Amino acid sequence: MALVSAKEMIEKAHAGHYAVGAFNINNMEWTKAILLAAEEAKSPVMLGVSEGAGKYMCGFKNVVAMVKEIHDYLGITVPVALHLDHGSYEGAKACIEAGFTSVMFDGSHYAFEENLEKSKEMIELAHSKGISIECEVGGIGGEEDGVTSMGELADPAECATIANLGVDFLAAGIGNIHGKYPADWAGLNFDRLGEIQESTNGKPLVLHGGSGIPAEQVAKAISLGVSKINVNTELQLEFAAATRKYIEAGKDLEGKGYDPRKLLKPGADAIQAKVVAMMEQFGSAGKA
């Protein structure tokens, strides 16, 4: 199966009360590990690419080519969407052109009227190409690719206005934060989540900052309409810890342990195991 739009997988998740994971990729190892995990768990999956990671991987065209080739080479049979994460106006257009099957246009830093206008244009453009699209209302806290914002609570009326444009899934701030959660974090705001789900007439919602949220809060968020959960930091921590362990045990100095295929394997295996576990937690395992 070729790469697909995320529309169907997210609508099925919303109807079935589970969530699809959107896991950020950084390179070949990340891509391979996440695709193998999805196949192992028999789960639909979204591969998220930030604009920074796109640059790191030498451009969106290279990302499309790499993901398609790895996907076909591994014989992946579960539905896979290649998704731009927190796209700018120019970035979203470039990814639609480059062959991504899903994009996020994040206009949350604009005044609402401008976000609305640009989101409308981008939704029309994405849909004219059969690509799914996510938009954002209310900033997500924390830092991502050098852009910092405090955790906001999205305005349910603004969410309704963007939802009515026909966006496929909507990211709305509910106190979630990118990166590690601080010890004094107040937790997800379920009252606001419920209000947003109601005001948008049951639009599938996206939970950004999916790393390190207590399991019971994730389960409750899914029960209130979250159908896509973004995870980045957690996989970076898993990879770093496994690689550290390998080096601290002196394994890189034993035999040909310095061979990158050996050196990067514990980290890649750790990513795969973590993604399978999260797919089970989100309820998407076995849903492909």
Decide if residue 231 touches ligand 13P (CB under 6 A). yes
What residues contact residue 251 under an 8 Å CB cut-off, 6+ apart?
Answer: 257, 262
Q: Verify binding: residue 14, ligand 13P, rule CB under 6 A.
A: no
Query: Could you tell me the smallest distance in angstroms from the CB atom of residue 22 to ligand 13P?
Result: 7
**List 210, 266, 267, 283, residue binding ligand 13P (CB under 6 A):** 210
CB 107 within 8 A of CB 114: yes
Figure out which of the listed residues 79, 87, 173, 209 binds ligand 13P, where binding follows CB under 6 A.
Answer: 209
From candidates 85, 152, 155, 158, binder to ligand 13P by CB under 6 A: 85
x/- mask, ligand 13P, residues 133-152, rule CB under 6 A, reads --------------------
Choose the stretch contacting ligand 13P; rule: CB under 6 A; options: 89-97, 118-126, 187-195, 228-236.
Answer: 228-236
Q: Applying CB under 6 A, which part among 61-69, 108-116, 226-234, 264-272 lies near ligand 13P?
A: 226-234
Run of H or E residues at 41: helix 28-41
233 annotated as belonging to a binding site for a ligand: yes
- Does residue 210 have a known ligand-binding role? yes
- 232 and 178 Cβ atoms separated by less than 8 Å: yes
Q: Which of 243, 160, 199, 169 is nearest to 10 (CA)?
A: 169
- Strands, E, within 112-223: which ranges? 132-137, 142-144, 147-149, 169-172, 205-207
- Write out the binding residues for ligand 13P, residues 31-50 only, by CB under 6 A: 48
Pairing relation of β-strands 142-144 and 147-149? antiparallel
Give whichever of 48 and 225 is closer to ligand 13P, judged by the CB atom.
Answer: 48
Shortest distance in whole angstroms from residue 12 CB to ligand 13P: 21
Site for ligand 13P in 166-205 (CB under 6 A): 178-179
* Residues labelled catalytic: 85
If the CB atoms of residues 101 and 233 are measured against ligand 13P, the closer one turns out to be: 233
Q: Does residue number 108 form part of the binding site for ligand 13P (CB under 6 A)?
A: no
Q: Environment class of residue 77 by beta-carbon count within 10 Å: exposed (0-12), middle (13-18) or buried (19+)?
A: exposed
CA distance 209 to 251: 33
**How many Cα atoms sit within 13 Å of 174 on the Cβ side?**
30
Identity of the residue, 37 or 246, whose beta carbon is nearer to ligand 13P in the bound complex:
37
Shortest separation between residue 209's beta carbon and ligand 13P, angstroms: 4
Shortest CB 257 distance to ligand 13P, Å: 30
In the complex, least distance from residue 237 CB atom to ligand 13P, rounded to whole angstroms: 9
Structure tokens at 263: 């050196």
The DSSP line for 205-236 is EEE---TT--HHHHHHHHHTTEEEEEE-HHHH
Pick from 221, 263, 229, 225: nearest CA to 246: 263
- Do 84 and 92 form a contact (C-beta atoms < 8 A)? yes
Residues that constitute the known binding site for Zn(2+): 86, 106, 136, 178, 208
Positions touching ligand 13P (CB under 6 A) are 24, 48, 85-86, 178-179, 208-211, 230-234
Residues that constitute the known binding site for dihydroxyacetone phosphate: 179, 209-211, 230-233
